[in-house]
Amino acid sequence: MSRQQRLVPISLADLEHNAHITMDLNALDYYRSGANDMQTLRDNQEAFNRLRLRPRILRDVSKVNTQTKLLGSPVSSPICLSPTAMQRLAHDEGEKATARALVITVDTPFLGRRLADVRNVFKLPSHMSMANFETKDSKVTMANILDQPDKQDAAAQKLLNQGSNGAEKAAQGRNTKVVKQESSLAAYVVSQIDPTLNWKDIEWIRSITKLPIVVKGVMTAEDAKLAADAGCQGILVSNHGGRQLDGVLATIDALPEVLEAVKGRNVEVYLDGGVRKGTDVFKALALGAKAVFLGRPVLWGLAHNGEEGVSLALNLIQQEFELAMALAGCCQLSDITRDFVQHGTNAHSKL
């Protein structure tokens, strides 16, 4: 599509198109880039397209309900937000605008605004807290956050985010202006990542809190088992938007083996990467994900119109998801099962 004409957005793809027109090229390349050849970045979406739906008919779907519980807390939808850095590249209000559009999101250590500014936008429910754990001063930060008696018995999300290794981003690498302007920032970000993070850090977090722990970046059965053994209550299947190691599985393809590895254990499994449509949400839940997380689509909404753009992005995919449920014959999340999807390569034509 042309970069010259903005669309009236009726999908996340339209919001992305508009962002490509309105955003500064340097910022756009930072957001849309992936590691090396961007094979994994592309495959995250293409893998969803390889899955086909098997809808049921003659079911009462007059009332569709997407409510569920995550880590014991009720939520209105299984559509959540992944941590995304440098949101002010998309809009002047950055994380502040995103926060106003949300009830709660996952904290990221690389904010375009001071964290206090973001948290002051809204008051978290008394039983909620949030933190990200990946930078070199994380132990001090985490200990300070958890040194609050009123939080110790709360339901909260603690995210251990597998560190960045500074993998080359293809679009940025080809844009020499980006490399020149962003190199110092990129170097700083990489320098702050703690490369020594390991499963003993999970054990340390577990030793100082009763709060639920969610680990992000799990892509294999082996790590899923280690996460469960370490006492994690949640696993976020993620390849970090294809921005780290190129050539790894798409997250929707990695999901089944992770689920199988923790089957029968009290661990919730979520997914991010490649979710762009309501049918993608449906497919992920059909394969067993408890919830999905959005990254880039929220940035496209932010670039489109700040807080209202983020709200629009979430509303668009929520409406698509509810429609997909109804057309597939599901009125509540528990109706969505593995029987509703199959790989397109397994569909045999009878022509």
At 191-209, the pLDDT tens digits run 777 888 899 999 999 999 8
Note the pLDDT tens digit of each residue in 237-265.
Answer: 999 999 999 999 999 999 999 999 999 99
Which among 17, 20, 127, 240 is annotated as catalytic? Answer: 240
- Asked if the model's pLDDT at residue 280 lies above 50, the reply is yes
Whether 4 is in a domain gets the answer no
Whether 192 is in a domain gets the answer yes
The CATH number of residue 65's host domain is 3.20.20.70
Task: Say what the pTM is.
Answer: 0.83
Question: Residue 113: what pLDDT?
Answer: 43
Verify whether residue 240 is a known catalytic residue.
yes
Name residues whose C-beta falls within 8 Å of residue 67's C-beta, 6 or more positions apart in sequence.
Answer: 74, 75, 76, 77, 333
Question: Residue 137: what pLDDT?
Answer: 61
Task: Indicate the number of domains in the chain.
Answer: 1
Whether 3 is in a domain gets the answer no
What's the rounded Cα separation, in Å, for the pair 332 and 254? Answer: 25
Q: What is the mean pLDDT of residues 124-144?
A: 56
Give residue 181's identity as a one-letter amino acid code.
Q
Q: What is the mean pLDDT of residues 152-178?
A: 51
Whether 351 is in a domain gets the answer no
Whether 219 is in a domain gets the answer yes
283 phi/psi in degrees, rounded to 5? -65, -40
The boundaries of the domain holding residue 164 are 13-341
Whether 304 is in a domain gets the answer yes
What's the rounded Cα separation, in Å, for the pair 149 and 65? Answer: 36
What's the rounded Cα separation, in Å, for the pair 14 and 276? Answer: 11
Burial of 166 (0-12, 13-18, 19+ CB in 10 A): middle
Residue bearing tokens 């294999």: 220
Whether 2 is in a domain gets the answer no
Give rounded-to-5 percent helix, strand, coil for the chain: 45, 15, 40
Question: Residue 86: what pLDDT?
Answer: 87
Whether 55 is in a domain gets the answer yes
Q: What is the dihedral of CA 298, 299, 303, 304, to 10 degrees?
A: -30
Higher pLDDT: 330 or 207? It is 330
pLDDT band for position 94 (50/70/90)?
confident
Higher pLDDT: 134 or 31? It is 31
